[in-house]
Amino acid sequence: MSARDASGASGASPYKSKTLATWIALLGGSLGLHRFYLYGWRDLPGWLHPWPTLAGLHGVRRMLELGQDDHAAWALIPLLGLMLAQAALFAILYGLTPDARWDARHNPGQPVQDTRWGPVLGAIAGLMLGAGVLMATIAFSGQRYFEWQIEQAHRISQ
């Protein structure tokens, strides 16, 4: 029996594990690693993920070097928070996708695999990490915005 007969296609794609995709999304999703795992190296959205993440890391570096008054860091740091939060969201989505739907989408023609607790634990970790990062990003952005408003009000009053 040839590979074509067994898989229904000439080049059967390798099995895409829901557990592995969930944990890759959680740990490296802000860099697009989960997209490369699922869709390969030619995935354009995967290549777009690292840029806002790196810009946010540059904002963190600027704030550590120049202090909290650096306005560029104020704009860049929330990008990092949003990319980390979206990575956690993808981990939650992957982890909570039913096995049959996952295998129909990513492993067509292969039998449904029972994934057990690995993806669920990844989704729980994604929920905790994502909620914390998103709240911190909103708090940081709001604090910086209101501090800027106070600076502007002081300038006007003088």
Q: What is the mean pLDDT of residues 43-71?
A: 93
Task: Give how far Cα 153 sits from Cα of 73, 142, 143, 156, Å.
Answer: 21, 17, 15, 5
Whether residue 117 has pLDDT greater than 80: yes
Q: What percent of the chain has pLDDT over 90?
A: 70
Domain boundaries, the chain: 15-157
d(C-alpha 17, C-alpha 112), whole Å: 11
Q: Could you report the per-residue pLDDT of 74-91, keeping only the tens digit for each?
A: 889 999 999 999 999 999
Average pLDDT in the chain:
89
Please report the pLDDT score of residue 114 as a whole number.
86
Query: Does pTM surpass 0.85?
Result: no
Q: What percent of the chain has pLDDT over 70?
A: 92
* Paired tokens of 138: 């909103």
5 versus 111: which is more confidently predicted?
111
Please report the pLDDT score of residue 5 as a whole number.
39
Whether residue 64 has pLDDT greater than 50: yes
Whether residue 143 has pLDDT greater than 60: yes
Q: Could you report the per-residue pLDDT of 7-40, keeping only the tens digit for each?
A: 444 456 789 999 999 999 999 999 999 999 999 9
Please report the pLDDT score of residue 12 as a whole number.
65
Please report the pLDDT score of residue 11 as a whole number.
54
Whether residue 1 has pLDDT greater than 80: no
Chain center to CA of 96 = 15
d(C-alpha 110, C-alpha 12), whole Å: 10
